[in-house]
Structure 1
Amino acid sequence: MSGPGTQVQHLDGIRILDLFAGPGGLDVAARFLGFKSIGIEWDHNACETRYAAGLPTIHADVSVMRESRFDEIPKSVDVLAGGPPCQSFSVAGKGAGRKALDTVKEFIHRLVHGEDEDRIDSDLHALGDPRTALVLEPLRWLIKAIETEGRDPYKVIVLEQVPTVLPLWDVYAKVLRGGEGRLQGVKYEAECWVLKTEQFGVPQTRNRAVLVARRPGHGAIEPLRTTHMSFGRRRDTSPEGIPGVSGSKLPWLSMAAALEAASKAKDSPVDVSRLRTDGAIRFFVVSNYGSGGDPKNRGRRTSSQPAFTVTGKISRNKVYKSLADYDADKPDRFTIPESGVLQTFPHNFPWSGKDQAQQVGNAVPPRLGMHVLSTVLRGKAPSEEELAAAATWPAVPGTTTEALRVIGCGDESRCPPGSHKVSAVRPESAL
């Protein structure tokens, strides 16, 4: 990181460190809640989106930052967050991590009880998929903070992954509660759950395993209170006709409702006029993935339902306005702003760089992030005003984007090897 004057301006008062930050799902959530964050991200395309959005970032490998650049993390950071890459654990992947869950549990204990880390790394490498080892990085960052003079243990830890990782989060929680070995008596209140995103107002069915931990003294960690109904697969339409009852959940949010609202915002890049029939948004989506174990059995959702899980392959989902278009095989596709809205990013979020669909799919839905961060940091759900404000991203001056690029990449000499071989596409605001 270079340019000390610029660093003070953009890095002062940062509380949250987001490992594997992606384009900024958790950081966007933090910003709307009034917390400053900094992310570490390996992919330079995601970094370009973050710079354009005004999100402080270090373009680096998480492990390298911990091993040799730990002192560059602001000392004001007291919240450790992150979502390690999930491909090896994902149901959609080959599943190296799923097959090795019990082995990885052992690594957690080996790490805490002081076994040689080179030996641990060698054994992790033998598992086949190097990304599997990254699930240990948050624990390694905590140990680093505890063992580094002049640093304090993080007050709060927030981690998320695909549901198959819940058994590992259970082990994490037990280790954090115990404070043994290299944790040097540092203990946490810790809980973990699988959360359904549509139950928090995300127009998408996506399950995430979330772990939250907090130093003692703030009371027990209570489960997050859901705000919306779970998506019922037996219903073909949104349950908008359910009478309002005091204390009842809101209906889950449909794709049509989310895109309609985004399209009405001032200067919105979301234009759904092509999907209207008789004034209403009507379409159905054929998934890129098979279901029921049959790759040819592609799932279908109507516009009055939540989206399928938004993945990096969302641009391959086929959108049809009518059965005639389906029979003629004339599909439409979701645009990047539309895909972002289905993830609850602001309609005008400045997606930049290449592989934007992958960026969108890799992100934590910001609305879910707001509920998690607000609950663990403030002991309450985000307000309706905060959630409403999260629909629009504030304009970011080009000078800010450039300053953050200098902080994040500098002269590119310490960025991940080979990551800048292809020049990043810079947003207009930075030109």
Structure 2
Amino acid sequence: MPDLFAGPGGIDIAARQLGIHLTGIEWGDNAVATRRAAGLPTLHGDVRHYEPEQFPSETGLAAGAPCQTFSIGGAGSGRTVLGLLADTVKTAGTDQVTVPDGLDDRTALVLEPLRWILQAHAARRPYRWIVLEQVPAVLPIWQAYCEILEARGYSAVCGVLRAEEYGVPQTRRRAALVARLDGPVALPAPTHRRYVKGIPQSAGDPSLKPWVSMGDVIDRGGPFTVVSNYGTGGDPKNRGRRTSAEPAFTVTGKISRFRLVDPDGHDLDRLSHAEAGQLQGFPADYPWSGADIPQQIGNAAPVQLATALLTAATA
């Protein structure tokens, strides 16, 4: 099954653990180097240069388009055209999506999964299941996708999920869409408790597992505190802090700027690539390769969340 904008492999690692075969399409040289080192099937290129007919036997589609223009940390150009993008989805043709004039190329990539869906449907080889994920701002576009999918016989649902509620050791929110052609579908139910600052890890719904802390996956030989790379309350001097007994802040491409200090306030070594990857759910021995590894990690889909989405779509 094709995985569009596959990055270093978050969705693919989850798929491999579930016995689902994915072929990632990724244009970034560095992410491709990591994928190949990890033994993940990979096509090195631009998803716009591929067609569903090149994957005639595939029954599923996964995608996580670049989020930079939609994320809070980005320039925000994508957030200013959400209505235009949603309308573009709703008025798409039977097998093509007309990209509005003047739309930023990176922003327009959020429409690429729809092109693949429509062309596969027009060729009478519709995908049996679909999983899409993005930053929360993209939810209105996923809602428009759901309308298009339901009109073509899919059961489709979308919403904003919290990564720590699926066992990811960080508080990260993602807009997710799950669709299925051969039966009803629902967003995955949380398996872990929601993190609430000041509430102990042991407290909460006993039917759910405790949220996972940084210290649960990273062994520094003792407690530590992470000082975030961004401010809180609009004041860049007011750095957020979390202890190793809490989940991490959202992991971004700037994770290498996180400061770590011991209980006495002394600086510790910054997070290694392996440790940063673990906060996204990757194995400690994941073979990060190429350059700009913090950005690769920040761009990846959290593995445990991807596992929950794929299971919801395919089980």
- State the TM-score, normalizing by the size of structure 2: 0.95
| Corresponding position of 2:309 | 372
Please name the residue that 2:191 is paired with: 227
Tell me if 1:206 matches 2:184. Answer: no
SS at match of 2:287: coil
Tell me the SS of whatever aligns to 1:172. helix
Instruction: Tell me the equivalent position of 1:49.
Output: 34
Q: Does 1:108 align with 2:89?
A: yes
Q: Which runs of 5+ in 2 are unaligned?
A: none
Q: Is the 8 A contact 2:95 2:122 kept in 1?
A: no
C-alpha distance in 1, partners of 2:16/2:163? 20
| Residue 188 in structure 1 maps to residue 154 in structure 2 | yes
Stretch moving more, 104-113 or 86-95: 104-113
Percent identical among aligned pairs is: 48
Instruction: Looking at secondary structure, tell me which structure has more helix per residue.
Output: 1
In 2, Cα distance between equivalents of 1:376 and 1:65: 24
Given the alignment of the two structures, is residue 333 of structure 1 paired with residue 270 of structure 2, yes or no? Answer: yes
What is the count of residue pairs matched by the alignment?
315
The answer to whether residue 65 in structure 2 is matched with residue 99 in structure 1 is: no
1:284-303 equivalence runs, <5 A:
284-303=225-244
Correspondence for 1:249: 208
- Aligned position for 2:99: 121
Question: How many Å separate the matches in 2 of 1:357 and 1:96?
Answer: 23
The runs of 5 or more residues in structure 1 that have no matched partner are 1-15, 180-186, 261-271, 379-431
In 2, distance between residues paired with 1:369 and 1:359?
A: 16
Identify, as 1 or 2, the structure richer in strand.
Answer: 2
SS of corresponding position for 1:282: coil
Cα gap change, 1:162/1:243 in structure 2, threshold over 3 Å: closer, same or farther?
A: closer
CA-to-aligned-CA distance 1:118-142 (integer Å, 9 cap, x gap): xx3351xx13x32110110000011
CA distance in 2, matches of 1:211, 1:288: 30
Query: Is 1:59 equivalent to 2:40 in the alignment?
Result: no
Q: Equivalent residue for 1:32?
A: 17
Once the two structures are superposed, the pairs formed by residues 131-280 of structure 1 within 5 Å of their partners are 131-148=106-123, 152-179=125-152, 187-215=153-181, 217-218=182-183, 220-235=184-199, 238-240=200-202, 242=203, 245=206, 248-260=207-219, 272=220, 276=221
Tell me the distance in 1 between the aligned counterparts of 2:157 and 2:27: 29
Closer, same or farther in 2 for the Cα pair 1:112/1:293, shift >3 Å? farther
Contact 2:256 2:271 in 1 (8 A): yes
Give the distance between the partners of 2:227 and 2:204, measured in 1 at CA.
31
Name the CA distance, whole Å, in 1 between partners of 2:245 and 2:26: 35
For 1:297 and 1:89, the matched residues in 2 are separated by 24
Alpha-carbon distance change, 83 to 114 in structure 1, aligned in 2, over 3 angstroms: closer
Alignment CA distance shift 1:79-1:354 (3 Å)? same
Contact kept in structure 1, 2:94 and 2:122, CA below 8 Å = no
Contact 2:61–2:129 (CA under 8 A) maintained in structure 1: yes
- The answer to whether the 8 A contact 2:158-2:176 is kept is yes
Deviations 1:264-297 (A, max 9, x none): xxxxxxxx3xxx3xxxx21101111112222222
* C-alpha separation in 2, matches of 1:333 and 1:293: 24
Amino acid at match of 1:57: T
Q: CA deviation at 1:109?
A: 2.4
Kindly tell me: are residues 188 and 336 of structure 1, through their superposed partners in 2, closer, same or farther at Cα, counting changes over 3 Å?
same
Q: In 2, distance between residues paired with 1:214 and 1:77?
A: 14
* CA distance 1:178–1:255, change in 2 (3 Å): same
* Aligned counterpart, 2:5: 20
**Residue identity matched to 1:78:** T
CA distance in 2, matches of 1:304, 1:332: 18
SS at structure 1 position matched to 2:127 = coil
Tell whether the 8 Å contact from 2:193 to 2:204 is kept in structure 1 after alignment: no
Could you say if the C-alpha distance between residues 365 and 18 of structure 1 is closer, same or farther in structure 2, counting changes exceeding 3 Å? same
Residue of 349, 357, 360 corresponding to 2:294: 357
Per the TM alignment, residue 223 of structure 1 is displaced from its structure 2 partner at its CA by 3.2
SS of the equivalent of 2:240 reads: strand
Write the deviation string for residues 292-320 of structure 1: whole angstroms up to 9, x where unpaired: 22222221111100001111110111111
Q: Larger C-alpha radius of gyration, 1 or 2? A: 1
Q: Helix, strand or coil for the counterpart of 1:26?
A: helix
RMSD between aligned residues: 1.8
SS in 2 for 1:295: strand
* C-alpha deviation, 1:145, in angstroms: 1.8
> For residues 164-190 of structure 1, what are the alpha-carbon distances to aligned partners after superposition, in whole Å with 9 as ceiling and x for unaligned?
1111111110111113xxxxxxx2110
